[in-house]
């Protein structure tokens, strides 16, 4: 059957693109082999942030005495929380289905798509043809080759969402964003948590002092860390799981005993069963689809959107991919991802709101810099809330006072960093906020101290010849 567009995957690029093109009058096919909504609705943002919130409620209830509020013994009803999460997911899926049903020129195919030619796909017994094909198949948890892993009924960020029995001791393999969010979540639910990280710091992409400050905050809640450690093997011993690890610097062993293991060691693209080679679509060695600045693949008339193309793996980036493609195709724009500024947030507590370059990246680029840092302890609102873990950091181009990057590690850090992101979008100097009037007392008032702290720094040392 011939279509104006075929879209593979109903994630946060695929679904809005299908709806928008259909409303524009195109005849559209949307192919989905699982649930509507992709990662965000089913195993990502919607369920995880629901659970993060419930864990926050448990944290406040359990620690009420810290703020002078007496509470009785706190117990977490995990099955009830999971039921709330499932109900929310189902409502989002039904909302997507309702939108599709309202458009007669949008046809939903249930099944797996495979390329049989440059502009031809098979879905079950059906053959779909189109001059324009969009791939939005997302990614899945990467599973490392750890001896014994398959024998311990390990969890991933997807399967842990259905866990209805609270782990006594959760071992998290991986100290990235996913591992930290789930680690803190289950610590607040009541589990003992140990995070095993193969690198010298958690969140290796972030600047060291930011990672250390977040680690201190998590350790204050009882979370244990084993850094620079490789998980050598896993084994089941009765009801226990034994993790044998070795420190990278000297190989000294360390044994952990837990009841559950969460593997949080990255993501792999869902591209291996698409038969991309039959359409002339190239991938890198990990399977991520190669695209140009307009999100076009190496096959003419085929675009790749969202996580499966590599790069920043965030729902809002997937949605922005849709915005770029639609604007270029329908509105005659000439947008690209080349200069896209990417804000993101790790939903720990304190939240890690980030945008743009880190200090490490800016120094590596050889840019003359101004840098400002201020601890959250200077922010009146944070002090009044007795939630002062964190810091704010600004990286500025010393040549023109434009913001290159920003970090806000604090309560509501993800909300706050977007104020600085707005300056970056407008190509405005950081000094615009230097003399601003801030509502007192708010967390944003911390920018008053942050702007004052910005000073020139020594240029990076030149590499020896």
Task: Give me the residue spans of the domains in the chain.
Answer: 2-141+268-330, 149-265, 343-456
User: Does the annotation mark 440 as catalytic?
Assistant: yes
Superfamily of domain 149-265: FAD/NAD(P)-binding domain (3.50.50.60)
Return the CA Rg of the chain. 24
Alpha carbons 403 and 208: distance in angstroms, whole number: 20
Alpha carbons 178 and 191: distance in angstroms, whole number: 17
Alpha carbons 290 and 283: distance in angstroms, whole number: 5
Asked if 256 and 242 count as a contact pair (C-beta separation under 8 A), the reply is yes
Alpha carbons 341 and 96: distance in angstroms, whole number: 29
Residue 463 has a pLDDT of 40
Residue 460 has a pLDDT of 56
Q: What is the CATH number of domain 2-141+268-330?
A: 3.50.50.60
Q: Residue 424: name the closest of 406, 451, 410 by CA.
A: 406
Which ranges of 287-440 would DSSP assign to H, the alpha helix?
315-330, 359-364, 380-385, 413-425
Asked, colleague to colleague, whether 2-141+268-330 and 149-265 share their fold, the answer is yes
Q: 59, 119, 277, 440: which is the annotated catalytic residue?
A: 440
Please tell me the pTM assigned to this model. Answer: 0.96
Alpha carbons 59 and 316: distance in angstroms, whole number: 28
Superfamily of domain 343-456: FAD/NAD-linked reductase, C-terminal dimerisation domain (3.30.390.30)
Describe the crossing of helices 45-62 and 78-101 by its angle, rounded to 10 degrees: 150
Q: Residue 154: name the closest of 273, 20, 260, 22 by CA.
A: 260
Walking along the chain (465 residues) 10 residues at a time, the average pLDDT comes out as 98 98 98 97 98 98 95 94 98 98 98 97 98 98 97 97 98 98 98 97 98 98 97 96 92 94 98 98 98 98 97 96 98 96 98 98 97 98 98 98 98 98 98 95 97 89 43
Describe the crossing of helices 45-62 and 177-189 by its angle, rounded to 10 degrees: 40
Alpha carbons 110 and 115: distance in angstroms, whole number: 16
């Amino acid at each position: 059957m011939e279509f104006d567009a075929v879209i593979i995957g109903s994630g946060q690029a695929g679904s809005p693109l299908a709806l928008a093109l259909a409303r524009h009058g195109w005849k559209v096919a949307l192919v989905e082999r699982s649930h509507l909504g992709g990662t965000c609705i089913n195993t990502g943002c919607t369920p995880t942030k629901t659970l993060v919130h419930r864990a926050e409620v448990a944290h406040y209830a359990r620690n009420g005495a810290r703020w002078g509020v007496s509470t009785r013994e706190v117990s977490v009803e995990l099955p009830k929380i999971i039921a709330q999460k499932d109900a929310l997911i189902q409502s989002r899926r039904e909302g997507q289905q309702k939108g599709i049903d309202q458009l007669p020129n949008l046809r939903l195919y249930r099944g797996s798509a495979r390329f049989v030619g440059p502009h031809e796909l098979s879905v079950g017994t059906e053959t779909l043809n189109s001059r324009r094909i969009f791939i939005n198949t997302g990614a899945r948890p990467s599973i490392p080759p750890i001896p014994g892993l398959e024998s311990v009924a390990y969890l991933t960020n997807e399967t842990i969402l259905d866990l209805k029995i609270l782990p006594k001791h959760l071992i998290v393999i991986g100290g990235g964003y996913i591992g930290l969010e789930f680690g803190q979540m289950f610590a607040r639910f009541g589990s003992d948590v140990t995070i095993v990280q193969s690198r010298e710091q958690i969140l290796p992409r972030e600047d060291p002092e930011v990672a250390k400050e977040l680690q201190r905050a998590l350790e204050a809640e009882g979370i244990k860390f084993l850094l620079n450690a490789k998980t050598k093997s896993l084994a089941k011993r009765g009801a226990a799981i034994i993790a044998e690890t070795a420190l990278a610097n000297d190989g000294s062993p360390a044994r952990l005993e837990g009841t559950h293991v969460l593997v949080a060691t990255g993501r792999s693209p869902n591209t291996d069963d698409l038969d991309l080679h039959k359409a002339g679509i190239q991938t890198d060695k990990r399977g991520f689809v190669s695209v140009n600045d307009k999100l076009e693949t190496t096959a003419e008339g085929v675009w790749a959107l969202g996580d499966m193309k590599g790069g920043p793996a965030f729902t809002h980036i997937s949605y922005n991919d849709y915005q770029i493609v639609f604007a270029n195709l329908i509105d005659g724009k000439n947008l690209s991802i080349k200069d896209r500024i990417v804000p993101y947030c790790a939903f720990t507590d304190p939240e890690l709101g980030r945008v743009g370059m880190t200090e490490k990246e800016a120094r590596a680029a050889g840019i003359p810099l101004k840098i400002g840092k201020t601890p959250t302890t200077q922010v009146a609102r944070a002090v009044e809330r007795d939630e002062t873990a964190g810091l704010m950091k600004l990286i500025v181009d010393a040549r023109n006072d434009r913001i290159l990057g920003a970090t806000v590690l604090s309560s509501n850090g993800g909300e706050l960093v977007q104020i600085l992101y707005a300056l970056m979008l407008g190509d405005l100097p950081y000094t615009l906020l230097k003399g601003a009037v801030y509502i007192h007392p708010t967390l944003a008032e911390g920018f008053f101290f942050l702007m004052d702290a910005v000073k020139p720094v020594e240029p990076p040392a030149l590499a020896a010849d």
